[in-house]
Amino acid sequence: MKSFIADLAARGELAVVDRPVDPQHQLAAITKAVQTAGEQAVLFRNVGGSELPVISNLYGSHDRLKRLIGAGDKSFCERWIELTDRCLASRDEDVLEPASAEIEAEFVSGSLSDLPAITYHARDAGPYFTSAIYMAREPDSGVPNLSFHRSMQVSDSELRVRLGSTHDLARYQAKAESRGEALEAALLLSCGPEIFLSACASLPYDASELTMAALIAGRKLPMRRCKTIDLEVPAAVDIVVEGRFLPNVKRPEGPFGEFMGNYVEVGDNHVFEVTHVNYRRDAVLHGLLCGSPEDLRPLEAVTAARVYRHAASQVPGVIDVCCRPNVMISIIKIKKAYEGHGKHAILAALGSYLDYNKVVIVVDEDVDIYNLDDVMWAYLTRGRADTRAMILNDIPGFYRDPHKDHWGRLCIDATLPWGREAEFARKTVPGEKEINLADWLV
């Protein structure tokens, strides 16, 4: 984390807050203001109630995400698929190595009370760890898994955690619980980008996110052993909370302001018993504002890669996919080759991810799919509103949706009318792309 922050500062991508900040709501409010102003990360050096600083908005920029995975001239989707394919062809034994003995001297033991206790939203039940990456091993195979799960801070010995039913960690916990056993896990709270981004990956059940992390980093991952549980964690992680998920125990958790922009109400969720806390002396806690660009950009990017992979395998001419401004939408850019090409791309996208494709829009190659204004311009100006939009009723949507609020699909073919492309050619101003305003304005 320290080297990541230093790199952001060197690039001019870091804002710094030196004034004292209240971790209850004020830190979140300032973070939101920074995100509204741009894509900088923000470092809070003086957070009430803790000696540890807090960093936020590390991943709120799509261009930064591309840089972090080494995309170069490729799209995020293309590079992410390359990394995923290499991950599936590799093994942990090839990419992990023991950390040096000197690493342990960098860490001190402490408690959850040492860490900043951040309350983000008005109705949140209390402080939460929102960049909470849990690492655990599959009870039978031992394959490690990294995944995000919001964690409510209750005491120094207890967190309450929502395990999404479709996540591998939930399956690990259920398997251990069926045997009357607790599931040991480590909570990783201050990670480098390779760990954070690999935890975003949607990999097969028997694949390892640690392998993905090593491939993103471009080197082997040093691992160090936990103190109270039988688990090794990446040595680069600055804050590690060891513990175990208790079998057959659930307690009230929430409400909490989730990524959809509303509150998830109180529910009985899993209990994580804390057995040890240790952190580097110069650790910085990563605090993520749920539903903000930092939360959505990585989720959108890896979802887009999943849609891209499937659509491109089914339909020729798929150039790129974007899932902004919300992961519930997929915008597909194609090089149109025949009448009805856009509708074929829609059908392919719908079959790629049944949870998230609430809206699918297909556009031509001259449209900026990362600019919803440009996407809607294509729909509004390049043909009829009715025959190019399709509503599919009563299609199940997002898995956590008891009231069916996300059922149904809206599909829009916003591509140019076939055979009439010249009539809809974009107007341009010669030389507009070469203008540097600094050369002209006083």
Each of the 442 residues of the chain gets a pLDDT tens digit; together they read 999 999 999 999 999 999 999 999 999 999 999 999 999 999 999 999 999 999 999 999 999 999 999 999 999 999 999 999 999 998 877 899 999 989 999 999 999 999 999 999 999 999 999 999 999 999 999 999 999 999 999 999 999 999 977 789 999 999 999 999 999 999 999 999 999 999 999 899 999 999 999 999 999 999 999 999 999 999 999 999 999 999 999 999 999 998 877 899 999 999 999 999 999 999 999 999 999 999 999 999 999 999 999 999 999 999 999 999 888 999 999 999 999 999 999 999 998 888 788 999 999 999 999 999 999 999 999 999 999 999 999 888 777 778 888 888 999 999 999 999 999 999 999 999 999 999 999 8
At residue 288, the pLDDT reads 95
At residue 207, the pLDDT reads 93
The single-letter code of the amino acid at 277 is V
Angle, helices 293-314/193-200, rounded to nearest 10 degrees? 50
**Domain boundaries in the chain?**
1-57, 90-283, 294-422
How many other C-beta atoms lie within 10 A of the C-beta of residue 329? 20
CATH homologous superfamily for 294-422?
UbiD C-terminal domain-like (3.40.1670.10)
DSSP secondary structure string for all residues of 317-357: TEEEEE--S-TTEEEEEE---STTHHHHHHHHHHTT-TTT-
The class level of CATH for 90-283 reads: mainly beta
Spatial contact of 92 and 203, defined as CB atoms under 8 Å apart = no
Spatial contact of 44 and 27, defined as CB atoms under 8 Å apart = yes
The single-letter code of the amino acid at 145 is N
At residue 401, the pLDDT reads 75
